[in-house]
């Protein structure tokens, strides 16, 4: 195999693995929108919060961040549930615009509180030996275990969510509520606690994604909005409301970023945004959702 | 009930439908005075007052434009800073080609409008929160595109040329006046626009697009128009910001902080009102002046205030004030009042009885006119004082002389029914047949005793 082809194959593989991270963040966004019709503009900031929390815990305990995940994820779940109870749930009663405004305000608050608390220095998380481990596929293609783990985490989280939603009674309730909250309430589903658990799960996945982002690269208080944009693009490209579409969308983003970055790093992010705009122009409902479904979900104007 | 009879059309009903009020007139005068004072600022207070006022005026303009977008049309765009940047760079480009920078403000607005047209085709396919994030993406694309273009200075930015011909004092004053003009045009433009059918359509499309479309509103067109106009205005504001700083730099002009400010001002002031965003701009300006030393805490306060404003008082400060005091300085809706106050006053001054309407629209005779209620039966109407006859009871509009009702209507006396031996059914102080107009006094079964017709 020539070096030229190897370079491109390497770029595609790295891009696919990168896409796993995007999908990991995006699935929480997708879940929140699918069930509660809230586009959580603070989702990226919550992920960054998770990364900071992981940093605090792992520094305090002196262990790699993976060890504190059992502490971190329940904490994130509780935070999400409380947020839903205090802010997002009440905002739903004030019309369709209120959740957007509230979550944007929340995002501004989180970013600046983080800056006050942790300054704007870029930080990284201690990933232990996993962070530097890698394995070699062929001669020149080396894959970091961390990327593989992030991708695997995305697949596990997505399939876990899929199973939870399709097989368990919780999932049945969630799907019923997503279809029609009023009717769900009529048949005896307690909608508000259910929403709180959904928001908790979404924030938990965000925190997990934040930990991976923080371990793979660095993060600063204002990394959230960039993260949100990527996650959002993954959701729209994959198709609004389709979990596996989100994974495909994330991979499409990752591959685009990686391949264009191979040519010129400066254009990588621009190419991702342009891919998103192209999908919006050609197939606004996304690749894996029909236009009708997306319109019914209320995402299309 | 009246409409059901088919006799009285809505326009003839004894109510005045108007959108202007005396408060609004006084406020218009006050606003004109304020604008005149602001125009005079460079002569009186000079440079030190101009810089903060320029900031305040850009806030006012940004808030009004964002209100047009989010408050009236339901398009929560958090990427309006994209058009601030487009305007700033358009100003630089036209100024670099020798156009006067002050004329360049108009060019910047037009340029932002033109740029926003293809963008609107893309982003308006989404709605709600997805639209919001798509606008963020657009802003990111513009910023990256500018950063990658060496012709507009790349990451380092460019300084605005063409202002060296003016002396420093005149230059500052000119920029100040330009800002004032942009702010006044934005506020007045949004107001006049929203008063038109456009405002009604936009609010319908914003609150429920499906219902609006089914009622004949061309939702896409309305949204696109709102987006284009908000973008054009933002372009002009961006040009003003570039003139104020005299330097255009991607990170400062494409700053999401501007969008945060727009959100804050509109939410605090009162979304969906004309007065609210201006009030919000004043609040933000005061906050900025007092809290900017605290750095990030300032933005924490701004974000928290936006959240609280949405959740607790969703109509903003102005909504609170207008609910409490009934103020409407720049009315956009129609209000139904029972009579037209001014015509009523004039008629009283002319010595007439309590006028219940404006001069007859057919013959201009003041007094009982087209659309006034009959004082006697409260049901018919009088066409005009020249043809005084109630269509309901055929009576005269002149107050009937006070006279007691006939004895057979008194309470306890045998009424017309009981003349034939049947008992009366009324239980009140007066029989129900008494209620109605007796002369100038209206008597109802609940009237106090002193209004009772004299007993014999």
Q: What is the mean pLDDT of residues A230-253?
A: 86
Alpha helices in B246-274, H assignment, sequence order: 250-253, 256-269
In this complex, the residue of A33, A112, A225 whose CB is nearest that of residue B136 is A225
Angle between the B101-123 and B219-245 helix axes, to the nearest 10 degrees? 140
Helix-strand-coil percent breakdown of chain B, rounded to 5? Answer: 60, 5, 35
Residue A1 in domain = no
Q: Which chain B residue has the Cα nearest residue A282?
A: B122
The predicted pLDDT at position B454 comes to: 52
Higher-pLDDT residue of B367, B153? B153
Half-sphere exposure of A47 (CA within 13 A, CB side): 36
Give residues 74 to 103 of A whose Cβ lies within 8 Å of B.
87, 90-91, 94-103
Domain assignment present for A74: yes
Query: Which has the higher per-residue pLDDT, A185 or B388?
Result: A185
H or E segment at B158? strand B158-159
What is the per-residue pLDDT across B166-195, written as a single tens digit (0 to 9) for each?
888 888 899 999 999 999 999 999 998 888
Band of pLDDT at residue A153, cut at 50, 70 and 90: very high
Q: What HEC string does chain A produce?
A: CCHHHHHHHHHHHHHHHHHHHHHHHHHHHHHHHHHHCCCCCCHHHHHHHHHHHHHHHHHHHCCCCCCCHHHHHHHHHHHHHHHHHHHHHHHHCCCCHHHHHHHHHHHHHHHHHHHHHHCCCCECCCCHHHHCCEEECCCCCEEEHHHHHHHHHHHHHHHHHHHHHHHCHHHHHHHHHHHCHHHHHHCCCCHHHHHHHHHHHHHHHHHHHHHHHHHHCCECCCHHHHHHHHHHHHHHHHCCCCHHHHHHHHHHHHHHHHHHHHHCHHHHHHHHHHHHHHHHHHCCCCCCCCHHHHHHCCCEC
Using alpha carbons only, how large is chain A's radius of gyration in Å? 19
Is residue A69 within 8 Å of residue A61, measured between CB atoms? no
Q: Is residue B331 pLDDT above 80, yes or no?
A: no
Q: Do B299 and A96 touch (CB under 8 A)?
A: no
- Does residue A95 fall inside a structural domain? yes
Is A143 within 8 Å of A13 (Cβ atoms)?
yes
Size of interface A-B (CB pairs under 8 A): 152
Q: What would the two tokens of residue B232 be?
A: 């054009």
Q: Is A271 on the interface with B (CB under 8 A)?
A: no
Task: Give me the residue from A87, A109, A232 closest to B133, CB to CB.
Answer: A232
Averaged pLDDT, A131-137? 76
| pLDDT at position A203 over 90 | yes
Dihedral sign (CA B109, B112, B116, B117): positive
pLDDT of residue B18: 65
Classify B101 as helix, strand or coil.
helix
User: Nearest chain B Cα to A222, which residue?
Assistant: B256
Which domains are delineated in chain B?
20-325 (1.10.3470)
* Closest partner CB to B127 (pick from A111, A270, A300): A300
pLDDT tens by residue, B232-256: 999 999 999 999 888 888 888 888 8
Return the residue of B nearest to A39 by Cα.
B129
- Chain A: nearest CA to B229, how far in angstroms? 19
On average, the pLDDT of chain B sits at 75
Is residue B333 classed as helix, strand or coil in its secondary structure?
A: coil
User: Measured between beta carbons, which residues in chain B are less than 8 angstroms from residue A281?
Assistant: 121-122
Cβ contact B76–A97 (<8 Å):
yes
Is the pLDDT at B335 greater than 90, yes or no? no
A38/B130 Cβ within 8 A: no
Min Cα–Cα distance to chain A from B232, Å: 22
Q: Is A276 on the interface with B (CB under 8 A)?
A: yes
Identify the residue among A89, A105, A286 best suited for mutation to test binding to B, counting B beta carbons within 10 A and taking the highest: A105
B263 with A240: Cβ contact below 8 A: no
Q: Cα-Cα-Cα-Cα dihedral of B141, B133, B261, B89, to 10°?
A: 20
Q: What's the DSSP call for residue B126? A: B
> A290-301: buried (b, 16+ CB within 10 Å) or exposed (e) per residue?
eeebbbebbbbb
- A87: nearest CA in chain B? B311
pLDDT band at A296 (very low <50, low <70, confident <90, very high): low
- The pLDDT value recorded for residue B178 is 93
Indicate the angle between helix axes B256-269 and A97-118, nearest 10 degrees.
120
pLDDT computed for residue B409 by the predictor: 52
**How close does chain B come to A43, measured CA to CA in Å?**
12
Contact call for B128 and A100, based on CB within 8 A: yes
The mean pLDDT value of chain A amounts to: 86
In our burial notation (b when 16+ CB lie closer than 10 A, e otherwise), range A93-131 reads: eeebbbbbbbbbbbbbbbbbbbbeebeeeebebbbeeeb
A72-85: average pLDDT: 94
Structural domain tally of chain A?
Answer: 1
Domain that holds residue A46: 22-105+144-296
Predicted local distance difference test score (pLDDT) of residue B189: 93
Average pLDDT over residues B262-283: 89
- ipTM beyond cut 0.90: no
The token pair at B11 is 């326009």
Number of residues in chain A: 301
Q: How many residues does chain B have?
A: 456
Mean pLDDT of B9-24: 57
In a domain, A212, yes or no: yes
| Cβ distance of A300 and B126 shorter than 8 Å | yes
Q: Tell me which residue in A108, A240, A301 faces B223 most closely, judged by beta carbons.
A: A301
Read off the pLDDT of each residue in B210-239 and give the average, rounded to a whole number: 92
Residue B381 structure tokens: 């109407």
* Residues A301, B121: C-beta atoms closer than 8 Å: no
**Using alpha carbons only, what angle is made at residue A293 by residues A289 and A295, rounded to the nearest 5 degrees?**
115
pLDDT at residue A294, rounded to an integer = 66
Interatomic CA distance for residues A285 and A185, integer angstroms: 29
> Does any domain span residue A4?
no
At residue A294's C-alpha, the angle toward residues A293 and A298, to 5°, is 115
Q: What is the pLDDT of residue A285?
A: 77
Confidence (pLDDT) at B169: 85
pLDDT in tens, B109-147: 999 999 999 999 888 888 877 788 889 899 999 999 999
Tokens of B66: 């964002």
Question: What pLDDT, in 10s, does the model give residues B17-72?
Answer: 666 777 788 888 999 999 999 988 888 887 788 888 999 999 999 999 999 999 89
Neighbours of A9 (CB within 10 A): 15
The reply to whether A240 touches chain B by the CB within 8 Å rule is: yes
What does the pLDDT read at residue B443? 56
For residue A97, give the nearest of B70, B122, B141 by CB distance. B70
Query: In this complex, which of A102, A232, A281 lies closest to B307 when CB atoms are compared?
Result: A102
CB within 8 Å: A38 and B129: yes
Residue A227 has pLDDT above 90, yes or no: no
Q: Is the pLDDT of residue B225 over 70?
A: yes
């Amino acid at each position: 195999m020539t070096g030229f082809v190897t370079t491109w194959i390497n770029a595609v593989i790295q891009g696919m693995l990168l896409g796993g991270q995007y999908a990991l963040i995006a699935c929480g966004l997708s879940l929140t929108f699918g069930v509660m019709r809230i586009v959580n503009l603070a989702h990226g900031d919550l992920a960054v919060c998770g990364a900071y929390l992981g940093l605090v815990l792992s520094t305090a305990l002196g262990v790699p961040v993976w060890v504190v995940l059992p502490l971190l994820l329940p904490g994130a779940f509780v935070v999400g549930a409380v947020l839903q109870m205090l802010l997002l749930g009440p905002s739903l009663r004030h019309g369709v615009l209120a959740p957007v405004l509230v979550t944007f305000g929340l995002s501004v608050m989180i970013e600046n509180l983080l800056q006050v608390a942790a300054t704007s220095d870029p930080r990284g998380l201690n990933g232990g030996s996993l962070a530097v481990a890698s394995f070699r596929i062929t001669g020149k293609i080396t894959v970091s275990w961390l990327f593989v783990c992030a991708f695997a985490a995305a697949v596990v989280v997505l399939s876990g969510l899929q199973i939870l939603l399709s097989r368990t009674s919780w999932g049945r309730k969630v799907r019923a509520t997503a279809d029609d909250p009023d009717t769900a309430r009529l048949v005896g589903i307690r909608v508000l606690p259910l929403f709180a658990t959904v928001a908790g799960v979404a924030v938990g996945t965000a925190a997990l994604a934040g930990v991976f982002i923080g371990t793979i690269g660095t993060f600063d208080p204002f990394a959230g909005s960039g993260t949100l944009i990527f996650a959002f693009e993954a959701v729209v490209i994959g198709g609004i409301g389709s979990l596996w579409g989100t994974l495909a969308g994330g991979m499409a983003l990752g591959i685009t970023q990686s391949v264009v970055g191979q040519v010129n790093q400066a254009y990588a992010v621009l190419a991702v945004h342009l891919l998103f705009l192209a999908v919006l122009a050609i197939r606004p409902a996304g690749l894996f959702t029909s236009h009708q479904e997306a319109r019914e979900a209320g995402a299309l104007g | 009930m009246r409409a059901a009879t088919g006799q009285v059309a809505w326009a003839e009903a004894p109510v005045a439908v108007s959108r202007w009020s005396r408060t609004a007139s006084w406020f218009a005068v006050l606003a004109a005075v304020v604008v005149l004072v602001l125009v005079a600022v460079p002569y009186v207070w000079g440079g030190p007052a101009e810089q903060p006022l320029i900031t305040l005026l850009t806030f006012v303009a940004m808030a009004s434009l964002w209100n047009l977008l989010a408050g009236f049309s339901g398009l929560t765009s958090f990427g309006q800073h994209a058009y601030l940047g487009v305007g700033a760079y358009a100003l630089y480009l036209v100024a670099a080609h020798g156009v006067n920078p002050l004329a360049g403000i108009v060019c910047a607005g037009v340029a932002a409008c033109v740029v926003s047209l293809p963008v609107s085709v893309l982003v308006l396919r989404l709605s709600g929160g997805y639209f919001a994030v798509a606008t963020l993406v657009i802003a990111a694309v513009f910023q990256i595109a500018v950063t990658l273009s060496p012709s507009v200075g790349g990451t380092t930015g460019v300084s605005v040329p063409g202002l060296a011909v003016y002396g420093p004092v005149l230059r500052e004053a000119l920029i100040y006046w330009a800002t004032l003009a942009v702010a006044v045009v934005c506020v007045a433009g949004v107001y006049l626009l929203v008063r038109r059918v456009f405002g009604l359509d936009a609010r319908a499309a914003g609150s429920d697009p499906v219902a609006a479309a089914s009622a004949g509103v061309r939702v896409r067109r309305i949204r696109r128009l709102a987006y284009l106009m908000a973008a054009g205005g933002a372009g002009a504001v961006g040009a003003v910001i570039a003139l104020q700083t005299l330097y255009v730099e991607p990170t400062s002009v494409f700053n999401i902080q501007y969008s945060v400010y727009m959100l804050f001002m509109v939410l605090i002031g009162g979304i969906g009102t004309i007065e609210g965003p201006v009030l919000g701009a004043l609040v933000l300006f005061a906050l900025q002046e007092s809290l900017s030393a605290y750095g990030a805490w300032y933005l924490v306060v701004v974000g928290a205030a936006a959240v609280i404003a949405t959740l607790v008082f969703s109509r903003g400060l102005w909504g609170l004030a207008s609910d409490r005091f009934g103020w409407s300085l720049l009315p956009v809706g129609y209000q139904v009042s029972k009579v037209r106050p001014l015509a009523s006053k004039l008629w009283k001054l002319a010595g007439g009885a309590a006028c219940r309407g404006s001069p007859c629209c057919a013959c201009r005779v003041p007094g009982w006119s087209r659309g006034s209620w009959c004082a006697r039966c409260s049901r018919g109407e009088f066409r005009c004082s020249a043809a005084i006859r109630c269509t309901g009871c055929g009576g005269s509009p002149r107050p009937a002389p006070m006279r007691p009702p006939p004895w057979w209507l008194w309470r306890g006396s045998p009424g017309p029914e009981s003349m034939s031996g049947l008992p009366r059914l009324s239980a009140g102080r007066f029989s129900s047949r008494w209620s109605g107009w007796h002369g100038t006094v209206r008597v109802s079964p609940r009237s106090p005793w002193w209004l009772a017709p004299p007993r014999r």
